């Protein structure tokens, strides 16, 4: 009964934390005076010759749906990469969006726009099932553009609201209750990790044993400590 009551308390805290974060997100924005620049942003635009062609509006409509944005504190968008033990700066790669099947349908392309895409299948790092994606056939029609990233607005803050959120989060983290809370509220998302952790505790011979006892057992097996 004690465990059950405590689980109910964790569920209540989860609901309260979610509600408070929703309130925080719905506070809205306020203008930042004066605006400030924070780094640089990079995105795709129509190539100059495409922008003055008769099909400019058609390709701009496609670009609006598959454009991507990146941010960097460097104008050249270079990042450190280690190669053969040496660090060197290389330009960060940026591609057009390659939407998966359900998102491609959500973007509501016309038949003429769909004709300019082809299908590919790829396996993500953490998955085993191939995912169908749609790739634009003519990426040469677009070019990358770098411009200052100007911040003109900031989120409205509520000190009392943030204090309540921090109090709940600190309590959960300080007592390491997040894993248990995830298991009883969101089920399968964290359950696999939790289950594997319990199996590891069952097969690990050093769990819940004092150091002196572990050393004695290793010596008994003929290992020099």
Residue (of 49, 50, 48, 46) closest to 67 by Cα position: 46
Q: What is the mean pLDDT of residues 167-180?
A: 89
pLDDT confidence band for 195 (50 / 70 / 90): very low
CA angle 134, 137, 142 (to 5 degrees): 110
Lowest mean pLDDT among 25-39, 59-73, 184-198: 184-198
Percent of the chain, pLDDT > 90? 57
The pLDDT value given to residue 7: 83
Q: What is the mean pLDDT of residues 32-38?
A: 92
CA angle 114, 116, 121 (to 5 degrees): 80
CA within 13 Å, CB half, 67: 18
Q: Is-contact 31 156, C-beta < 8 A?
A: no
Q: What is the mean pLDDT of residues 71-98?
A: 88
Percent of the chain that is helix, strand, coil (3-state, to 5): 45, 25, 25
Q: What is the residue-averaged pLDDT of the chain?
A: 84
The pLDDT value given to residue 197: 43
30 phi, psi to nearest 5 deg: -135, 150
Cα distance between residue 94 and residue 40, in whole Å? 14
pLDDT confidence band for 215 (50 / 70 / 90): low
Residues β-bridged to residue 70: 42
The H or E element that residue 125 is part of is none
Percent of the chain, pLDDT > 70? 80
CA dihedral sign of residues 99, 102, 103, 105: positive
């Amino acid at each position: 009964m004690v465990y059950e009551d405590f689980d109910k308390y964790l569920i209540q805290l989860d609901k309260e934390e979610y509600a408070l974060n929703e309130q925080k997100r719905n506070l809205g924005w306020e203008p930042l005076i004066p605006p400030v620049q924070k780094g640089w942003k990079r995105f795709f635009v129509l190539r100059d010759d495409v922008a003055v062609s008769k099909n400019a509006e058609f390709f701009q409509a496609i670009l609006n749906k598959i454009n991507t944005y990146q941010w960097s504190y460097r104008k050249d968008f270079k990042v450190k990469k280690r190669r053969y033990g040496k660090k060197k700066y290389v330009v960060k790669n940026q591609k057009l969006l390659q939407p998966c099947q359900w998102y491609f349908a959500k973007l509501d392309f016309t038949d003429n726009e769909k004709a300019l895409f082809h299908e590919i299948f790829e396996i993500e790092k953490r998955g085993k099932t191939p995912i169908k994606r749609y790739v634009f056939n003519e990426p040469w029609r677009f070019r990358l553009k770098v411009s200052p990233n100007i911040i003109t607005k900031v989120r409205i803050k509520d000190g009392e609201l943030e204090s309540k959120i921090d109090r709940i989060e600190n309590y959960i983290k300080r007592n390491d209750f997040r894993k248990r809370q995830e298991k009883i509220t969101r089920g399968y998302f964290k359950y696999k990790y939790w289950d594997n952790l319990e199996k590891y505790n069952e097969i690990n011979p050093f769990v819940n044993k004092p150091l002196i006892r572990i050393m004695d057992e290793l010596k008994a097996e003929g290992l020099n400590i």
